[in-house]
Amino acid sequence: MSLLELRGITRTVRLPDDSRLDILRGVDLSVGAGEHISIVGRSGTGKSTLLNILGLLDAPTDGEYLLDGTPIGRLGNRRRARRRGDDFGFVFQQFNLLPGRTALENVIAPLLYARGRTFWRRHSIAASMLERMGLGDRLESKPEQLSGGEQQRVAIARALVRTPRVILADEPTGALDVDTGAEIMSMLDEIASDTGAVLIAITHDLAVAARATRHFRLGEGVLTPITIAPRTSGTLAELGDPLTATDVVDPEAVPALAEVEAGPA
Amino acid sequence: MTGFVGALVEAWGELRIHRLRVLLSLIGVAVAVAAMTGVTALGDITRQAQAELSEAQSGRPATFRVDAWSETATLDATATTAAFREFVDRYQIEQASLVTYSTMPVRMPMATWDVTVQAVDPPYGTMHRIAPIHGSWFTEADADRFSPALVVNEAFLRELGVADLSGHPTVLIGAGEPVLATVTGVVADLWPGAYPEAYILSSAYERWIPPNPEYFTVPALEVWVPPEDAEVAEEYLNRDLTAALGAGAQVQIYRQDAFGIEEFDRVFQLVVTGIGVLVLMLGALSLVNISLVTVRQRIREIGIRRSFGASSGRIFFSIMMESLVATVLAGVVGVGIAVVAVRNAPIESLIGWGAIQDVPPFPVSAAVTGLVAATAIGALAGLLPALVAVRVKPIDAIRY
Ligand SMILES: Nc1ncnc2c1ncn2[C@@H]1O[C@H](COP(=O)(O)OP(=O)(O)OP(=O)(O)O)[C@@H](O)[C@H]1O
Ligand SMILES: [Mg+2]
């Protein structure tokens, strides 16, 4: 049984001028334990929306979402919130650290929603997590005093401190330079593998996307599997990327994409 | 359990981050609580002190004093005493006392003084809240002594030249053939520079002290009855004693406890409490304002907390807690200020007369009132921002 399963998920929003915007038009996805998934797609195609639905921050307009075989739609708000805290860890592009609070306080914050031993031992757990991220000497630093890479490492420590089963990363390297981004991604990959967590990462960076075990592209509101050859650099745009240039969905119809998919399957 | 502690920890963290803003708005709350609590406490204390002072001098509610005299002849003291005693026995009044004022020579070591001596019965001590600082007040057993017992004031003791009662001091009292009396109790002077005074038991007075022909006195009767029985008591006293003392005797009854004279400071207290409530409201408004602003700034932060698994109930509780923790702290500070201020307030000059031996302690009810007011304000001020925060959808909060 897969850990996460989406069946025909749609998400429609009503815009201020009263027109409808279909962001997702029927997404199917099945993720098993320990998989690393990457999702690419041009800006505004609904990648964040999809990730938020996966992380129970948003609810689909239609379709079914099974978490551990349990239909999430039937859970009440409270239980949904609890599962969100227990099972998911979020890493955001803009880090989203709590301003004014130290690195340690930021990593402690999710543990305030834990129960039992984890709650009472939150200080030592958070400190050792930061140490693992190489920030043992920056525990008392506030986000304002940290570099982008360091902030993202704090954010990763915070996302992982409750050992979630699913890590959801929304463009985790988007605000970092290439080298730092690569470093951050290997950390994320490594820790996810260590704990056996599912990693679902959204990215614009093909090198980042290539690290995953399975790759998808989101366009026109649907998710399509693609193949990306392992590489050390490259963005969609650099490829003369039709993904960013148009709304083309069908990979066969796009010659440039064929090159992308020419790597080992 | 962990949920509650977690919310508290969170609230405390938030307060630390926003401490300057929170502090500013809380100054108002603390000041208002201090004003309200202080005024309530002062009012309570002065009223209490006043009541005690006036009770010590005039008796507790409802105390009646009965005076008998005759316009045509001198009234027989023995017959009057008998009539009073008979009345007290008939109605089984427990708190009643004959009161006879007299002046008698007292042989002090340095000189002989004419001392005012009140002859009373044992209940007089309770009726006038007499609390001796040395020794004790009269009991029924003192009637069986072989010499009269005296309860004297400090001035009397000073004049006797002794510091306390450890040596069982005695003194000769009375004109003609003086008797040796033993001092068994000492009460505080009513005011600095008081003259020597003494109490003696009525029974001892009648038995030992020879009547002074120059200073003839008839006893008065004091009775202390429950206030609700006051009217009946007054009627019976009048009817029975007029009958018992016979034609020609006049019986005058008046209520001597100070009832109805405490109203003036009530108005003052009401006005200041009103102002306190107003200040508290203003403090609360600024608190609401500040928390609303910070909640708006914190929508993103709320979204992040949502991603940690915060339910809307938890968000509501956290924001509410922030406000509550803050105002309860402000309330404690306010009550503290009030306690210190009241400690150092010139209570005696507020009462305006007399000296009180010990200032009553800070009234707990006033402190509780202050804390309750602070908590209520916190809840009120927290409600609106908490509702706003809960209405934010997690997804909007994250996207914000
Ligand atoms: N609540 C909403 N109300 C109105 N429009 C919305 C809402 N949520 C998302 N959208 C729109 O839906 C589209 C998809 O948004 P989303 O943030 O999921 O895109 P994305 O793929 O993550 O883009 P990017 O790569 O720039 O982050 C956008 O056009 C966005 O404006
Ligand atoms: Mg996005």
Q: Read out DSSP for B335-384?
A: HHHHHHHHHTS-HHHHH-SS--SSPPPPPHHHHHHHHHHHHHHHHHHHHH
Asked whether residue A87 carries a pLDDT value surpassing 50, the answer given is yes
Asked whether residue A242 carries a pLDDT value surpassing 60, the answer given is no
CATH architecture assigned to A4-253 = 3-Layer(aba) Sandwich (3.40)
Q: Enumerate long-range contacts of A115-123, CB under 8 Å, 24 or more apart.
A: A115/B2, A115/B3, A116/B2, A118/A162, A119/B2, A119/B5, A119/B6, A120/B2
In three-state secondary structure terms, A111 is: helix
Which pLDDT does position B157 carry in this prediction?
A: 93
Q: Residue A36 pairs with which residues in a beta bridge?
A: A199
Q: Chain B contacts of A105, Cβ < 8 Å?
A: 13
Which pLDDT does position B70 carry in this prediction?
A: 78
Distance A214 CA to ligand 2 centre (A): 20
CA atoms within 13 A on the CB side of B387: 6
Kindly report the protein residue whose alpha carbon is nearest to atom 24 of ligand 1. Answer: A43
Rounded average pLDDT over B296-314: 85
CB B384 within 8 A of CB B292: yes
pTM value is 0.63
A172-195 pLDDT, tens per residue?
888 888 888 888 888 889 889 998
Average the pLDDT over each of A239-253, B115-129, B204-218 and give the range with the smallest value: A239-253
Asked whether residue B74 carries a pLDDT value surpassing 90, the answer given is no
Q: What is the dihedral of CA B109, B112, B117, B119, to 10 degrees?
A: 80
Rounded average pLDDT over B361-372: 82
Residues A124 and A104: their CA atoms lie apart, in Å, by 10
A138-181 pLDDT, tens per residue?
999 999 999 998 999 999 999 999 999 999 999 888 888 888 88
Distance A13 CA to ligand 1 centre (A): 10
The residue among B308, B390, B400 with the most chain A CBs within 10 A of its CB, best to mutate, is B308
B210-221 pLDDT, tens per residue?
776 666 678 899
B13-29 pLDDT, tens per residue?
877 877 777 777 778 78
Residues A213 and A193: their CA atoms lie apart, in Å, by 12
Contact A119 B399 (CB under 8 A): no
CA distances for A110 relative to A84, A115, A122, B218, B272, angstroms: 11, 11, 9, 88, 47
Q: Where are the domains of chain A?
A: 4-253
Q: Chain A contacts of B3, Cβ < 8 Å?
A: 115
**CA B232 from centroid of its chain's CA atoms:** 28
Residues B286 and B384: their CA atoms lie apart, in Å, by 13
Asked whether residue B359 carries a pLDDT value surpassing 90, the answer given is no
E strand residue ranges, B50-189? 63-70, 96-107, 112-120, 134-135, 149-153, 170-173, 179-187
Instruction: For chain A, give percent helix, strand, coil, nearest 5.
Output: 40, 25, 40
Asked whether residue A91 carries a pLDDT value surpassing 80, the answer given is yes
Asked whether residue B273 carries a pLDDT value surpassing 80, the answer given is no
Question: What are the helix (H) ranges across B59-185?
Answer: 77-90, 124-127, 154-160
Would you list the DSSP string of A190-228?
A: HHHHHHT-EEEEE-SBHHHHHTSSEEEEEETTEEEEE--
Pocket around ligand 1 at a 6 A CB cut-off: A 13, 15, 21, 23, 41, 43-49
Check residues A49 and B3 and name the one with the higher pLDDT.
A49
Residues A218 and A44: their CA atoms lie apart, in Å, by 10
Asked whether residue A261 carries a pLDDT value surpassing 50, the answer given is no
Which pLDDT does position B265 carry in this prediction?
A: 61
Rounded average pLDDT over A239-243: 47
Distance B308 CA to ligand 1 centre (A): 22
Residues A9 and A66: their CA atoms lie apart, in Å, by 11
Spatial CA neighbour of A154 closest among A227, A101, A88: A101
Token readout for A123 is 């200080």
Contact A52 B310 (CB under 8 A): no
Which pLDDT does position A215 carry in this prediction?
A: 93
Which pLDDT does position A71 carry in this prediction?
A: 93
Which pLDDT does position B122 carry in this prediction?
A: 94
Rounded average pLDDT over B138-166: 90
Which pLDDT does position B173 carry in this prediction?
A: 92
CB B216 within 8 A of CB B181: no
Nearest-by-CA chain B residue for A120:
B2
Percent of chain B with pLDDT over 70: 90
Asked whether residue A54 carries a pLDDT value surpassing 50, the answer given is yes
Q: Chain A contacts of B394, Cβ < 8 Å?
A: 57-58
Task: Give the residue carrying structure tokens 């590489």.
Answer: A231
Which pLDDT does position A232 carry in this prediction?
A: 66
A96-130 pLDDT, tens per residue?
898 889 999 999 999 999 988 989 999 999 999 99
